[in-house]
Amino acid sequence: MNYETVIGLEVHLQLNTVTKVFCGCSTKFGQKPNSQTCPVCLGLPGSLPVLNETAFLFGIKVALALNCGIQSLIKFDRKNYYYPDLPKNYQISQYDMPLAYNGFVDIPANLTGLPKRIRILRVHLEEDAGKLIHPEREGHSLVDLNRTGIPLLEIVTEPDMNSPQEAYDYLTRLKSILEYLKVSDCDMEKGSLRCDANISIRPSGESKLGTKIELKNMNTFKGVKSSLEYEVKRQATVIDGGEKLFQETRLWDADKMITLSMRSKEEATDYRYFPEPDLVPFSVDKAFIEKIRQRLPELPEAKIRRFMKDYGLSEYDSNVLAGQSEIAEYFERCAQVYENRKAIANWITGDIMAYLKTQGASPADLGVSPESLAALLKMIDKGAISGKMAKEILSEAIETKMAPEKIIADKGLSQISDSGKLEEIVMQVISKNERSVKDYRSGKKNALGYLVGQIMKETKGAANPEIVNRILEKALEARQ
Ligand SMILES: [Zn+2]
């Protein structure tokens, strides 16, 4: 049978505020366990939470960037449950009146083949729980409460995605927007961006939704995509085999590339939500919201359109460059001092991004400034170095953190464009390779490539290929 896939995603984003959402404890990552706690985040009797203004501001920023409506009255609720990583036995969250609602994120056509609007159901602010550590082969678990009370933004979509690829593209665009806003480091490995997925399948044409399966434990966007791909196949096999799916939560095992049943979810958990009595609801001034809206940075979609218009770049290049705010900035700084924007785009989307990806580095770690890259490209244009040499110089500059200009000067690297000198070498190669010369003259034009190769070898790749070709062809024609 043919099935249609229905996917909704829930993202938990740690906001990068300096202090926690309801107390003054530091949010710094990787500190000694339980060293960043106080009576408020430990939930000791008599302590009172105070809302972190920056966390609230970041929440509004995200909500506006995701095209959401903002709640006019901000109210927090208690979500009650018992768990060792939750000392208060409740989490301060937002229930019936989320911070923001009814937004959307557009996935560009360039990524999926078709443009698509993914609706955002709600965005709400809450506090993170602590962390449980289960040391292997030891008969105990450990509790670290440094994470308790770190501000979290929960971003929930409508079930609008119809393939694992669309889910991947949504996450990519969402992350890009969040990085532009600088509200989180969006690092999935550190857990500052976490994603759960809901997936069901139904026979094509059927309007009723199928049985919803919740997926957890995906640590990368690729993991999200792979787990969804696995689930599409698994669920179809179950239904095709005449069996029934039941609502459950499954965990992704990234090593085995399978999902495993964690718990069945026959009824929704009753969290006994009620309004948080220690935080007074407050209304938000419309003028305040508009002020934040006006101060939003240029977001990926607008930047992509501007790159296409201002720099004449393709939609594909613009998407790749504007996808990451730091890359976009690097490109623009380079574009300010060098006219050939397509060449800049090629170098950044090629060699530079490949390097950053393998190293997990950012442009700031590159050691090659946008101005240095522009200088290198200008030297190619002048014929002072070849494209091949420029690639080598760039990779050496990245490795040694030395300015490309200095590498060229130190090594005396420069392309041989002196026709007199090149003519001499061409003549030598011609006299040493009679066979190829004869081949060329008898019409085997590809013999030329071999001869050019010999000249390049002779000059260790430093000969200007255009001049070599011109001299060589002239010499071969003349001596007939
Ligand atoms: Zn605290």
Q: Facing residues of 93 across strands? A: 77
Q: What is the mean pLDDT of residues 271-297?
A: 95
The answer on pLDDT for 111 being more than 70 is no
Give pLDDT, residue 182.
95
The number of angstroms, rounded, from the C-alpha of 31 to the middle of its chain's C-alpha atoms is: 26
The answer on pLDDT for 479 being more than 60 is no
Give pLDDT, residue 463.
78
85 Cα: distance to centroid of ligand 1 (angstroms): 14
25 Cα: distance to centroid of ligand 1 (angstroms): 4
446 Cα: distance to centroid of ligand 1 (angstroms): 74
- Torsion sign over Cα 9, 296, 305, 332: negative
Q: 219 is written with which tokens?
A: 């640590």
The answer on pLDDT for 203 being more than 90 is yes
Residue 181: pLDDT band with limits 50, 70, 90: very high
DSSP 267: S
Q: Which residue is it, tokens 């530079």?
A: 352
Give pLDDT, residue 385.
80
391 Cα: distance to centroid of ligand 1 (angstroms): 51
Q: Which of 389, 352, 382 lies closest to 367, judged by CA?
A: 352
pLDDT digits (tens, 9 = 90+) for 128-154: 999 999 998 999 999 999 999 999 999
Give pLDDT, residue 366.
85
The answer on pLDDT for 41 being more than 70 is yes
Please, are residues 71 and 55 in contact by the beta-carbon 8 Å criterion?
no
23 Cα: distance to centroid of ligand 1 (angstroms): 5
Give pLDDT, residue 113.
66
- Torsion sign over Cα 140, 145, 149, 150: negative
35 Cα: distance to centroid of ligand 1 (angstroms): 10
Give pLDDT, residue 455.
85
Residue 359: pLDDT band with limits 50, 70, 90: confident
Give pLDDT, residue 118.
97
The answer on pLDDT for 355 being more than 70 is yes
67 Cα: distance to centroid of ligand 1 (angstroms): 32
380 Cα: distance to centroid of ligand 1 (angstroms): 57
Give pLDDT, residue 473.
86
Alpha helices in 182-219 (DSSP H): none
The answer on pLDDT for 55 being more than 80 is yes
pLDDT digits (tens, 9 = 90+) for 429-468: 888 888 888 888 888 888 888 888 888 888 777 777 778 8
39 Cα: distance to centroid of ligand 1 (angstroms): 6
Task: Report, at the CATH architecture level, how domain 419-478 is classified.
Answer: Orthogonal Bundle (1.10)
Percent of the chain exceeding pLDDT 90 equals: 67
145 Cα: distance to centroid of ligand 1 (angstroms): 9
89 Cα: distance to centroid of ligand 1 (angstroms): 16
pLDDT digits (tens, 9 = 90+) for 391-438: 888 888 888 888 887 887 777 666 666 777 888 888 888 888 888 888
The domain segmentation of the chain, as residue ranges, is: 3-287, 298-411, 419-478
User: Who wins on pLDDT, 285 or 420?
Assistant: 285
The answer on pLDDT for 89 being more than 60 is yes
Name the CA radius of gyration of the chain, rounded.
30
27 Cα: distance to centroid of ligand 1 (angstroms): 9
Residue 3: pLDDT band with limits 50, 70, 90: very high
Mean pLDDT of the chain: 91
DSSP 256: T
Give pLDDT, residue 318.
93
Which of 185-194, 234-243, 361-370 is predicted with the least confidence, judged by mean pLDDT?
A: 361-370
The answer on pLDDT for 265 being more than 70 is no
Give pLDDT, residue 478.
75
Total residue count of the chain as it appears in this document: 480
For 132-163, b/e burial (b = at least 16 CB within 10 A) is eeeeeeeeeeeebbbbbbbbbbbbbbebbbeb
Q: Which residue is it, tokens 């495993």?
A: 260
